[in-house]
Amino acid sequence: MTSNADRVMIFDTTLRDGEQAPGCSMTQPEKLRVAKALADLGVDVIEAGFPAASPGDWDSVHSVAREVEGPIICGLARCTRDDIEKAARALRPAPKHRIHVFLATSAIHRQYKLGMAKEEIIRSAVEGVRIAREYCEDVEFSPEDASRTELEFLAQVVEAVIDAGATTVNIPDTVGYTVPHEFAELFRYLRKNVSNIDRARLSVHCHDDLGMAVANSLMAVVAGARQIECTINGIGERAGNCSLEEVVMALRTRETFFNARTNIQSHKLYPASRLVSSITGMPIPRNKAIVGENAFAHESGIHQHGMLKHASTYEIMRPQDVGLSRSALVLGKHSGRHALRERVKELGFDIDEAEFARVFEEFKALADKKKELFDGDIEALVLKAEGHDQGPWSLEGLSTSSGLQSATATVTLRHQDGRCLERRSIGDGPVDAAFKAIEDITGVKPSLQKFELRSLSEGEDAQGEAIVYVNFQDRSYRGSSATTDIVESATRAFLEVINRIELSQRAQAA
Ligand code: KIV
Ligand code: ZN
């Protein structure tokens, strides 16, 4: 059925604004994996990073531009030639690319951050857009802190950047300050008072400091915005950004109210959400709308009774619409390739033959240790990143013993350069002792910030996932691992952190 609703573009900034959030940093292969999932999900624009921020950011944007097909690939830049040139070079391989330039416009930012007068802001914004247009036909401009900018001045800036060639004008609520009605009025004001407004697409970019990012974005759509900037799971600076899955499902569920639709394949939302959560280590709250574990669970008797009579009594969306297809069917060591293939597909993952071969091999190994494999186990196998266990150090042996006072661990590690080393350490518990043995072998002693353990499925033999967060030389690193033994999971997670530190030191030295 074709719809007459207006098309709203989805601009995903998980890899730029999302990745800026504390604890959400991703490696280059992880960013590429997320970018491919976003393309598969059907987003229109992927903001892949801020190329001038660091050589690592430049490389990540460049690799997404080279390898991800479908969406427009976008890079952020300040209004300087150097930033814009860096963005343009990083984006060049992408057949469709966009440069996104920004400059703060509010009185607070002008006075305290930039020390610039209104005229200088306009001059610099126009100059930034003109330079970007030398490299690219698709140029977006964002007046940072737009929602706290004087309306008349904001209109002047918007008119000037459209005249200079901006094809999209994005209105950010940078500090999550606005409220829905006020924000809609701002959009209406711009549409009425900017004479060339029809020559650019209006976009909205909201932060969630007061918990209104999704509501504010929807009201901007009501008032004429035709692009929404958002992130998977709402990750982002401070309280985060507008959540992609929530805003998309609001538009889909209430299409006739909003008279707007997106191109998102909604049944891929849940797998994309799990992927971002597993890569960043940012857990999804159980009660999170759309993708939380409880989003489709009905506990109360009255609700269950209604659901049994007719699902529409208490359900406005079907779990399968967002890609959540939980099954009571458990797999085990006698399950074959076909059964696993089907389950992986039902869980919303689309993986190639090589990746499936790895998942199947690990599935068989896990099924030898664990009688029943649930959806959570299978998801964890699929989400395990390629190259997760690829060193330079690998775990060859681990034995621990513990008593009430202390514990010992003997760890054997092999390095890619051929060294095989073993150490025995004492610690407060077996995990602490194993971490110390790894530190002794590798000579790397990061400071442990956080250690989390969670069960991935049901039953006594459930897999336990360990996540380790450390700081080392002013950078934060994260490692995770899931096995049926929590001490082994913790040891492997810590070893992943040590491997990441060694790899990042090599990259910095290169
Ligand atoms: O929140 C913000 O203002 C931004 C801009 C760079 C768009 O992220
Ligand atoms: Zn932002």
So what's the pLDDT on residue 386?
A: 56
Residue 180, pLDDT > 90, answer yes
| Ligand nearest the Cα atom of residue 170 | 1
Q: Which of 142, 170, 183 to mutate to test the pocket of ligand 1 (most atoms within 8 A of CB)?
A: 142
So what's the pLDDT on residue 364?
A: 93
Straight-line distance from the first to the last Cα atom of the chain, in angstroms, rounded to the nearest whole number: 55
Residue 323, pLDDT > 60, answer yes
Task: Compute CA 68 distance to the chain's CA centroid, rounded to the nearest angstrom.
Answer: 16
So what's the pLDDT on residue 198?
A: 98
Contacts 24+ apart (CB under 8 A), 296-302: 296/324
Atom of ligand 1 nearest to the CA of 237: 1
Read off the pTM. Answer: 0.86
Kindly state the percentage of the chain with pLDDT values over 90: 70
Dist. CA 467–CA 415, nearest whole Å: 22
Bond from prior residue into 143 cis (ω within 30 degrees of 0):
no
So what's the pLDDT on residue 460?
A: 73
* Residue located nearest, by CA, to atom 8 of ligand 1: 17
Percentages helix, strand, coil for the chain (3-state, rounded to 5) are 45, 20, 30
Using alpha carbons, select from 200, 170, 209 the residue that is nearest to residue 186: 170
| Ligand nearest the Cα atom of residue 237 | 2
Q: Which residues line ligand 1 (CB under 6 A)?
A: 17, 102, 142, 144, 170, 172, 174, 205, 207
Atom of ligand 1 nearest to the CA of 142: 7
pLDDT digits (tens, 9 = 90+) for 294-315: 888 776 777 777 777 787 887 8
CA-CA-CA-CA torsion sign (164, 166, 169, 170) = negative
- Among left, alpha and beta (phi > 0; psi -120 to 50; other), residue 348 is left
* Residue located nearest, by CA, to atom 1 of ligand 1: 174
So what's the pLDDT on residue 463?
A: 84
Rounded to an integer, the average pLDDT of 116-135 is 98
99: confidence class by pLDDT, cuts 50, 70, 90: very high
Q: Is 118 within 8 Å of 130 (Cβ atoms)?
A: no
DSSP codes, 158-226 = HHHHHHHT-SEEEEEETTS---HHHHHHHHHHHHHH-TTGGGSEEEEEEB-TTS-HHHHHHHHHHTT--
Atom of ligand 1 nearest to the CA of 207: 1
108 Cα: distance to centroid of ligand 1 (angstroms): 15
67 Cα: distance to centroid of ligand 1 (angstroms): 26
Residue 84, pLDDT > 80, answer yes
Q: Which two tokens stand for residue 294?
A: 């409880």
Listed in sequence order, the residues at least 6 apart from 92 whose beta carbon sits closer than 8 Å to its beta carbon are: 65
Residue 69, pLDDT > 90, answer yes
Q: What's the mean pLDDT when you consider all of the chain?
A: 92
pLDDT digits (tens, 9 = 90+) for 193-245: 999 999 999 999 999 999 999 999 999 999 999 999 999 999 999 999 999 99
pLDDT digits (tens, 9 = 90+) for 258-297: 999 999 999 999 999 999 998 988 889 989 999 998 888 7
So what's the pLDDT on residue 299?
A: 67
206 Cα: distance to centroid of ligand 2 (angstroms): 7
pLDDT digits (tens, 9 = 90+) for 449-474: 989 898 887 777 788 889 898 889 88
Lowest-confidence pick of 61-75, 121-135, 246-260, 290-304: 290-304
Residue 390, pLDDT > 80, answer no
Dist. CA 492–CA 111, nearest whole Å: 50
So what's the pLDDT on residue 282?
A: 87
Atom of ligand 1 nearest to the CA of 172: 3
pLDDT digits (tens, 9 = 90+) for 393-422: 999 999 999 988 889 999 999 999 999 999
